[in-house]
Homo-oligomer: A and B are copies of this chain.
Amino acid sequence: MSSGPPEAVQSSVVRLLVLGGDAAGMTAAAHVRRAVPEAEVVVVERGPYTSYSMCGIPYYVADTIPDAEDLVVRSPEAHRAAGITVHLETEALAIDAEARSVRVRAVGPGAPREGEWDLSYDALLYAVGAHPTLPDVPGVAEYGVVVHTLDEGERLKGLLDELDPEGKIVVVGGGYIGMELAEALVMRGFKAVLLDRSTQVMRPLDPDMAEHVRHRLVEFGITVCLGEELREVRGVDGRCSEVVTSKGTHPAELVIVAAGSKPHVAMAQAAGCALGDSGAVAVDPRMRTTVADIWAAGDVVESVNLVNGRRRNVQLGTHANKQGKVAGIDIAAALRGEEQTVAAFDGHVGTAITKVCEWEIARTGLTERECFEDGIAYAAAAFEGTVTAGYFPEPGKAWVKMLAEEGTGRVLGVQLVGNGGNIGKRIDVAATWCQLGVTVQRAQFLDLSYAPPFGGVWDILQIGARKLVRELGLQPAL
């Protein structure tokens, strides 16, 4: 039984129902809103915000960005003014693909009504994102703080304001978010302990590159504990007091868990949508799931890594936006009864970047670990370069690692770590090379820019390419 709130009941029009009001969902909603004026577009969002920058949360925690609202790219009001129906604090519970309807329930005062009700759809976009992974150890559920959504970011900031300003905080998880949060804590005066069971920070880097990052985190004032597994979080009087690990205990006034997040697949799976090898929702390049009239996009789906052909679940805003746009184009065509669309999300090459403790860190393509797992024969060049001419008073340091395939010379991956500016965004050059299958033989000749404030006469990426041409015995070796 479909019984949405009055403004959403218009049985004569086609309806796009979007589950999830962030990057992927709202991008698609906005596209369909413009492209199919006669359609009704309804968005169901569990939280109180729409279209916000999840990646910006650590900067908000650090007080670099004063208000949570600053991270909202487009408010529910703005979406509503554009003609999109937005149900905030409304949780989707189950999809009935047969009946083409979704059961939802109010979870906060921002919901349009109380209790549970059904919303029908002609097209459904499943874009509910991911949920944080919590280590299954005692005390985590009770004391562990997660910072996956903007309202969780606000909650954390409230907690920090109440803490001893020099208190000790344990961050579990040495990935992007964990490092960025640990940095934010140090910037606010706290003592931050970064804990990871892995023997390195940032698993998307090879260990030798991650070691440069670890060194910098320590230099910045973060206590980095690697190869140390969380066993228990203990509290006194309802407040966190200490963290027990495989190696000992850390007093802790707060424990933040940033141990990754898993795509929220349960509802789609229950509706019959196939999952892929990665465990995320399988979609075709038009973002269609295996169930008719259901599309999926963003952190819930998997996409193909164009370097090794494997399907992976990559949770990044940049993909969510592109996928949301492709889904929107395809849904709009479907709602208009058109047969073909040309929009396609072909895949990714694993590009990622961050700035932590003033350093820029970026990667694209495959690491040595990934090449090894895939049995790809490769050579690697790792070296130290500079991002200004060597004769400049303080030439920036850059560590570069590049991988190329044996035989073909195809660039497989690049990792960059450097102090100062002008290093991280160079990864986009390498990302283009990886995505287009450019070889090191070709790369070494490309007309890349040179001026002393930006490096030596051979760009660091071309130095890498030259090293690999020689290493792999390819021609011409410059």
Residues on A facing B (Cβ under 8 Å): 23, 53, 55-56, 59, 64-65, 70-71, 306, 316-319, 321-322, 325-326, 329, 341-355, 362, 364, 389, 391-393, 421-422, 424-429, 431-433, 435-436, 438, 445-454, 457-459, 461, 475-476, 478
B70 in contact with A445 (CB, 8 Å): no
Among the interface residues A70, A348, A452, which one has the most CB atoms of the partner chain B within 10 A?
A452
Could you tell me the distance in whole angstroms from the C-beta of A204 to the nearest C-beta in chain B? 12
B449 in contact with A351 (CB, 8 Å): yes
A459 in contact with B325 (CB, 8 Å): no
B355 in contact with A451 (CB, 8 Å): yes
B436 in contact with A424 (CB, 8 Å): no
Name the contact of A458 in the complex, choosing from B321, B341, B355, B438 (C-beta under 8 A).
Answer: B321
B457 in contact with A353 (CB, 8 Å): no
Among the interface residues A329, A352, A392, A450, which one has the most CB atoms of the partner chain B within 10 A?
A450
Name the contact of A329 in the complex, choosing from B427, B438, B461, B476 (C-beta under 8 A).
Answer: B476
Complex: chain B residue closest to A427, CB-CB? B449
* Count of chain copies: 2
Could you tell me the distance in whole angstroms from the C-beta of A164 to the nearest C-beta in chain B? 27
A457 in contact with B392 (CB, 8 Å): no
Name the contact of A432 in the complex, choosing from B316, B342, B392, B446 (C-beta under 8 A).
Answer: B446
B446 in contact with A391 (CB, 8 Å): no
Q: A318-B448, A321-B457, A322-B445 are in contact. List 14 more A-B contacts (CB 8 A).
A: A53-B391, A53-B457, A70-B391, A306-B447, A318-B449, A322-B478, A341-B476, A351-B447, A352-B451, A353-B451, A432-B433, A432-B448, A435-B447, A436-B438
A424 in contact with B454 (CB, 8 Å): yes
